[in-house]
Structures are given as C-alpha cells and as structure tokens.
Amino acid sequence: MTMIVKTVVELCGIRISEEWLYLFGYAVNTFVIILIAGIYSRYKETFFNLKFASFLRKSMIPLLFFLAFEILCLIVSINVLIEKYSDLRYRVVGKGLSFMAMISIGIFVVMILYVKKSNETMEQMLVMEKQMQEFQKKYYEVLLEKEAETKKYRHDLNGHLVCLNGLVSDNDLEGVKEYIKEMNTYLGKIKSLSYHTGIEIFDILLNHYAVRLPQDTEVKIKCEDYCQIDVSDMEQCMIFSNIIKNAVEAVRGVETPPYYLEINIIKGGKYVQISIVNPMNEEKLCLNKAGKLQTSKEDKANHGMGLQNVEKAVERNNGRIHYDIKEKEFCCEVILPICNEN
C-alpha cells in the first residue's frame, strides 16, 4: 500500500518529504485494514457462504503456490542486493536471510501438499457422510414399513386361524395347503423388506443396494449376534459399500439364473469374518499372480479403483481381504477387528 501511495504521489507531481510520505502510507494502510475489518464483521455470514467456501477450497492451492513464488522472488531480490555491498557483514546477513527463505519455501511446499491432502480427505468425508445420512434415512423408512406390515399381519392372524380351522373342519386339505402357501408368500414379502446381519453400517448399505437386485434373487444371510466393528464409520462405509455394490452389479450382470447373494458372518474373539458370494460372468474378473483382483476391461486405469481403496482401508485397520473365483462364482472375504466387549 505504501508503494502504491508513493507511486500516486509521484505521478501527481506532489512534492513531499520521505518521512511524511511513509507516514501517509501507513495511515492509508491503517484505514484500509479498519475498512476491511468493518466489512468483514458486517457481511461475514454472507462472505463465507457455501459457494464462497467451495471457491476458497479450490483456490487455496494456487494461492499458496503464488505465495511460494513471492518468497522465491524475495530471495532473488536479496541476492541481487547482496552483490551491491562490499561489506562482508552485509553479505553474510544477506546470505543468511536467503538461506532461511529457502528453508521457508521447503516448509511451505510441505504445507501445500498437506493442505491439499487434507482438503481431498475432508471432501471425501463430507460426501460419504452425506451418502450415509441418505442411506440411514431410507433404511429406517424400510424398517418402519416392515414394522407396520408385521403389525398388520399379527392383527389379521386370528382371522387366518379361523379360516384355516374352517378348512380343516371341511376336510379341505388342498385348501389348507394353498392358504398356508399364500401366508408364507406374504411372510416372505415382509421378510424381504429389510435384511439384518447385526452390523449396523453393513445393514444400511445392504438394504440400500439390495433393491437393485433382480426380482427373483435369493438372498441368504447366515450371521450371529450383534457385532460392533472396531473401524470408523467412514471406513466401514468405504469398505462395505464397494464390496456390496460390486456384488449386486455382478448379480445384475449375470445373463441366466440362478440369481443369488450369500452373506456369511462369523464372529470370533477379536475379529469378524464377512464373506459375500455371488454369481458372475466368468470373463469380467480375474486374479493376478499376487492374488490381487484385476478387471478384464480395456480401460484398467479407471476401473478397479474401488477395490483398491477397500484393500488399503482394510490394511490400515489391521484386517485382511481375500478373493476366490470359482466357476462362474465370486467370493469376497473380509476380516476386520471387533470392539472389546469389556
């Protein structure tokens, strides 16, 4: 600001001493700072709205690079000025300042990379949190619907028993069989409204993606009691959403029946084993020599990233993941730590 004031004064041809020039520049600086502070305190709610916050996140990295460039320019200026002094003391001080500025650039670059990584992680967390909120809302709506249908069935149960008793009295065994068959069909519909495994995040995601399965898909679930996994909700979402989504897409991609999805959950003392078995087209997936899953699609750079993220998340949480491909059948087995019940 002082440089701008000095340039304006010189262009206007005003003669003023250096002391008054700098004093005037500092006064303008103070006025501008007070003005900015006043505007911020008055419009800070509007200033940091969602759109502007998004703009700041996107422009933060270029701004940091610009500041690093400014520091580099400062170093060049210091070295140029050093050459004009013959006094050794000034040259030593100048070299010292230049060296410190170079160190600050290195620190600045590290900060830029850290901020960039933090922003990417935060954005992923926000997206996943929003998705989880939507999944939870749909899941609880399905649970409420199932509860309402169950209450309705219980309310009508006495009427069903009366009808069955009448058919038995008439010795109409075929009618009894047909009536029980209809009741079982209705019970199956109620049961298929939601699936329960005892792992909350897994249940939410399973019920979200299961609606995409073909209508005659058989979902088999073998599980034990409630299980609390010692993994953050965000990473559970990353792991389970990918493997469930891939399994559902594989079932949808199978051209001929049978359509099925088998989920087996075995709880141990410290770990839980979750395996998902589904049919698949034989040519879609294969294992490399290291036992890693790879896609047979031509665009390999943009496919298979989901399972790579799953593998990294499982490894970060001291778990294991294993794939098994048999004839037209794929199995994904994940082992994760569980919380200490004590």
Token pair recorded at residue 56:
């700041």
Higher pLDDT pick, 208 / 299: 208
Give DSSP secondary structure letters for 75-141. Answer: HHHHHHHHTT---HHHHHHHHHHHHHHHHHHHHHHHHHHHHHHHHHHHHHHHHHHHHHHHHHHHHHH
Higher pLDDT pick, 94 / 238: 238
Average pLDDT over every residue of 102-106 = 80
Instruction: Answer whether residue 92 shows pLDDT above 50.
Output: yes
| Distance of alpha carbon 205 from alpha carbon 202, whole angstroms | 5
Beta bridge partners of 218: 260
Higher pLDDT pick, 211 / 340: 211
Segment 253-279, tens digit of pLDDT: 888 888 999 999 998 888 999 999 999
- Inter-CA distances, 255 with 218, 263, 268, 280, 328, Å: 16, 22, 37, 9, 11
Q: What percent of the chain has pLDDT over 70?
A: 79
Instruction: Answer whether residue 294 shows pLDDT above 70.
Output: no
Segment 2-49, tens digit of pLDDT: 777 778 878 887 777 777 877 888 888 888 889 988 887 887 766 655
Q: Look over the chain and give the mean of its residue pLDDT values, rounded to a whole number.
A: 78
| pLDDT at position 176 | 77
Q: How many residues does the chain have?
A: 342
pTM summary value:
0.55
